[in-house]
Chains A and B, each alone.
Chain A
Amino acid sequence: MDEVIRVEGLTKNFGQLQVLRGIDCSVKSSEVVCVIGPSGSGKSTFLRCLNGLEEASGGRVLVHGVSVHDNSTDVDALRSEIGMVFQRFNLFPHMTVLDNITLAPTKVRGVALEQAREQARALLIKVGLLDKIDAYPNQLSGGQQQRVAIARALAMQPAIMLFDEPTSALDPEMVGEVLSVMQTLAEEGMTMMVVSHEMGFARRVANRVLFMDEGVLVEEGTPEEVFDHPREERTRRFLSSVL
C-alpha cells in the first residue's frame, strides 16, 4: 500500500506555547486513522498542519511525497487533493447547496459546469440530501449541513479526507447521520484521518487509533489494542474518563 501522508518530527509553537512536540506518523492509502485525546492535546492543530492551514514550526509533512510547508510548493494544488471537514461545517452561506459543491471543481479544476452539477447530484444522493440541492445552508439542520460539507470536500475527488471533530457541534440526534456517511466512505476505501470524541466510531471503523496528549503521540495501534489493552498509563486514564 502506498503512503498518502508522512509526518516527520512535526512541531508547532504558538508563541511560547508548544502545542506539538515532535510527531511522527504515516497514513497509507485506504487507511482510516482516528486521533483521540483530551481537549487541548493538539489534535486539531495536528490535523490543520497536514493541509497547511497551520504553519509548521519544525519537522515536515509530506503528502504523496510533496512537502506541505515548503515555500516552493503549490499549496493550492496540494490542498485540492486533501479534503477537509470542519467542526463548524463552514458552508458558504451565500450559495445554494449545489453552488457550494460545484464552486471548487469548476474554479480550481476547470470542470465544465454541467459535469460538476451532475457530479454534485451524485454526491448528494450519496449523502442522502438530493432534495436539498437548491436550499441555502441556513435552511438545513446541523447534521444536514455537515453532510453537505462532506459532499463539497468529496467533489474534488481528494486522495485523503481530514475530519476535524465533525460531530462535536451537532445535537446528539444528528451525530448518527454524519457518522454513517463517514462509515460508508470508509467502507468504500477512502483514506481518512478523523479527529473525534466518538469512541464508538473509532472502535467500529478505524484501522488504527492514535492517542495524543500534550502534543505527543502517546500510543498507537488497532482499536482493540488501544481501547482494550492500552499500554500507557495516560491512555488508560483518558479512556476511563470518557468511556
Chain B
Amino acid sequence: MEPILWFGWFRADIIAEYGVMFWRGLQMTILVTVICIVQGTALGLAIGLARLADARHSPARQICRYLLRWPSTVYVSFFRGTPLFVQILLIHFAVLPLFINPADGLLISGETARSLKQNYGAFISGILALTLNSGAYISEIFRAGIQSIDRGQIEASRSLGLSFARTMYHVVLPQAFRRMLPPLGNNAIALLKDSSLISAIGLAELAYTARTVAGAYSRYWEPYLSISLMYWTLTLGLAWAVKRLEARYGRGDTR
C-alpha cells in the first residue's frame, strides 16, 4: 500500500492496513469491559452486603462475623492493596494453571484443558482478574451507598412489616443505587482503561493491537494515538450513559 500522509506526518495507511485488527481489538476491549462491569457489580453487591452482615443473636452473630465480615474484609483489602498488573500476572501464570492444566488441573485437565488454555487462557485470566479487582472496589461503593441511607428509612419499612430482604430491595438499594451511580460510573471508566493491562498476557484487545502494529512498522504515533482516541471516545460514551441513568433515577431528588 502506498504511504498516505495526513498533515504531513501521520501514516494513515498503517491504520487502514490493520483496520480489521483494530476493529477486533476494539470489540474485545468492549466485550471484556462489559463482562467485567456486569460481573464486578454482582460480586461487589455480594461482598458489600457481606461486609455489612450482622445479627442480634448467636449463632447468626458469629456466622456473620467470622464467615462473612472477616473474609470479605480481607478480600477487599488484598485486591485494593496490590497492583492490578500483578494480580493479572498472578492469576494467569499461577492460579489458572492450578485449575486448568493438561496434566493435573483441579477443575479441567487433559486435551480440553490444553485447547482451552491455548485459545481462551488470556481471556479467562483477564476477565477473572479484572472482575475480582473491580468487585473489591465496587463493594466499597455499595457499602458506602447502603450506609448513607438514613436509618429512619429502614425503620419505617420494617415497621410496615417488610422483611429485611424486602426492605433492602424496595427501599434501601434503589436509593443507594442513585447515590452510587457517579462512583460506579467512575469505576466503569477505570475498568475500561485498565482492561489494556490484559495485553500483557497476550489478549488481543486494543493495546495489544497497537503494540503489534508499532512493532511491525517501528511507528508509535499512529497506533498509540489511534487507540487513545478510541479509548477516549468509549469513556465519553460511558460518561454520557451514566448521566442518562442519573437523570432517570433522579426522580424524587431534592433538586
Task: Please report A residues at the B interface, Cβ cutoff 8 Å.
Answer: 51, 53, 55, 71, 76-77, 79-84, 86, 88, 90-96, 103-104, 107-108, 136-138, 149, 152-153, 156
Contacts and interface: CB of A to CB of B under 8 A. Distances in A.
A96 B174 CA distance: 13
Given A55-B56, A103-B170, A86 B254 contact: no
Contacts of B152: 86, 88, 90
A91 B153 CA distance: 7
B160 A156 contact: yes
Contacts of B57: 71
Contact of A51 (B157, B159, B251): B159
B161 interface: yes
A51 B155 CA distance: 10
A77 B159 CA distance: 10
B252 A80 contact: no
A107 B166 contact: yes
Contact of A92 (B161, B171, B249): B171
Count chain B CB atoms within 10 A of each CB in A93, A96, A152, A153 and give the residue with the most: A93
Contacts of A107: 162, 166, 170
B163 interface: yes
B27 to A, nearest CB: 37
A108 B175 CA distance: 20
Contacts of A77: 161
B178 A94 contact: yes
Contacts of B174: 94
Count chain A CB atoms within 10 A of each CB in B156, B158, B171, B252 and give the residue with the most: B156
Given A138-B253, A138-B254, A90 B156 contact: yes
B252 A137 contact: yes
B252 A152 contact: no
Contact of A136 (B150, B166, B178, B252): B252
Interface of B: 56-57, 150, 152-153, 155-163, 166, 170-171, 174-175, 178, 249, 251-254
A51 B158 CA distance: 10
Contacts of A91: 156
B170 to A, nearest CB: 6
Contact of B162 (A94, A104, A153): A104
A53 B159 contact: yes
A90 B155 contact: yes
Nearest to B175: A94
A229 B226 CA distance: 89
Nearest to B178: A94
Count chain A CB atoms within 10 A of each CB in B57, B160, B163 and give the residue with the most: B160
Given A93-B175, A93-B252, A108 B155 contact: no
B220 to A, nearest CB: 50
Contacts of B166: 107-108
Nearest to B169: A107
A86 B156 contact: yes
Contact of B155 (A86, A95, A137): A86
A90 B161 contact: no
Contacts of A104: 160-162
A153 B56 CA distance: 26
B155 A79 contact: no
A79 B153 contact: no
A90 B153 contact: yes
B165 to A, nearest CB: 10
A103 B175 contact: no
A108 B162 CA distance: 6
B160 A94 contact: no
Contact of A84 (B150, B153, B159, B251): B159
Contacts of B157: 92
A79 B158 contact: yes
B158 A53 contact: yes
Nearest to A71: B57
A136 B251 CA distance: 8
A81 B249 CA distance: 32
Contacts of A83: 159
A123 B179 CA distance: 32
A80 B175 contact: no
A92 B160 CA distance: 12
